[in-house]
Amino acid sequence: MVPGMNAEPGRIVLKPLDDPTDHYKYPLFSKNVSLKMIEAIRCIWDIVKRLPESSDFEGDQNAV
């Protein structure tokens, strides 16, 4: 299983960086992160923040 993903393919589980159950080693904690990498992370994080909460879809499990 890929770190950060649950058993459902294609579904990503986001955890806070201080989550005590998260044992994944994050390679981005470094002084040598390129500006392009930081910009990519900010772009992805902006998209993630705009996603609806998973509870918004609980009633629409059979919707296409």
The tens digit of pLDDT for each residue in 24-53 reads 666 555 566 778 888 888 899 899 888 887
* Residue partners of 21: CB distance under 8 A and separation at least 6: 15
> What type of residue is 35?
L
HEC per residue, 41-53 = HHHHHHHHHHCCC
Sort 42 into a burial class: Cβ within 10 Å, 0-12 / 13-18 / 19+: exposed
Please state the pTM of the whole predicted model. Answer: 0.38
Stronger pLDDT, 49 or 8, i.e. the higher one: 49
